[in-house]
Chain A
Amino acid sequence: LAKTTQPISMDSYEGQEVNITCSHNNIATNDYITWYQQFPSQGPRFIIQGYKTKVTNEVASLFIPADRKSSTLSLPRVSLSDTAVYYCLVGNDTGRRALTFGSGTRLQVQP
């Protein structure tokens, strides 16, 4: 499974847009990029997944350049409740169903 690199931590203020970039240089052709969010003492929660270009849902947007060696999770107008750890995962569901989590990015939103 492709290794991912993310910033360890980020700080923001309420109402700002936050962009978290993930590097995955050895992503395979059939790999998808998936982001999970985790609050303390809870399990990770699926946020968004994409393969290429841009994906948007009610929570976030995911930008993937043409070479797919990186991706950016964009959280519009964050609030205090967005304070969490965000994980970028790269892989595909071809029998290997184990999710490989990196260290994640700890986002702290200030008032």
Chain B
Amino acid sequence: KAGVTQTPRYLIKTRGQQVTLSCSPISGHRSVSWYQQTPGQGLQFLFEYFSETQRNKGNFPGRFSGRQFSNSRSEMNVSTLELGDSALYLCASSLEAHREYYGYTFGSGTRLTVV
């Protein structure tokens, strides 16, 4: 079955612009999480959506936002881009209602470069 699809794969934006990244989860997966990965901070949790509702949020400024659609596809938006927002943005999807701490499937990410 198809994996987690993230688009675009690469993106170059200018400081002050805004950007929207897209994530299509595995069919049947209702939970979508977003992570930011940078060389300095490593992998950091941004937020998680389930059934179109944000269920969990990491420690990022309000410039970072997201949403989930009824088909479980998710988008994240970063407004007023800063140089420090340059990173690999990863999306992970998972089934709901399982007690074990695994089952997250990650996409290949979107590499965002802010110049």
Contacts and interface: CB of A to CB of B under 8 A. Distances in A.
Interface string B31-47: 10101000000111100
Contacts of B90: 43-44
Interface of B: 4, 31, 33, 35, 42-45, 48, 50, 55-56, 58, 88, 90-92, 94, 98-109, 111
Interface stretch (A18-26, A66-74, A76-84, A99-107): A99-107
B70 to A, nearest CB: 20
B101 A44 contact: no
B101 A31 contact: yes
Given A96-B56, A99-B45, A49 B100 contact: yes
A100 to B, nearest CB: 7
> Main SS of the interface on chain A?
loop
Q: Which of B91, B104, B107 has the most chain A CB atoms closer than 10 A to its own CB?
A: B104
A31 B55 CA distance: 20
A19 B8 CA distance: 37
A43 B92 contact: yes
A96 B31 CA distance: 12
Q: Which of B101, B107, B111 has the most chain A CB atoms closer than 10 A to its own CB?
A: B101
| A interface, size bucket | 20 to 34
A89 B43 CA distance: 12
Contact of A49 (B4, B31, B102, B109): B102
Nearest to A103: B42
Given A41-B111, A42-B108, A96-B56, 9 more contacts: A43-B90, A43-B92, A44-B104, A49-B101, A92-B101, A93-B98, A99-B45, A99-B92, A101-B42
A98 B50 CA distance: 12
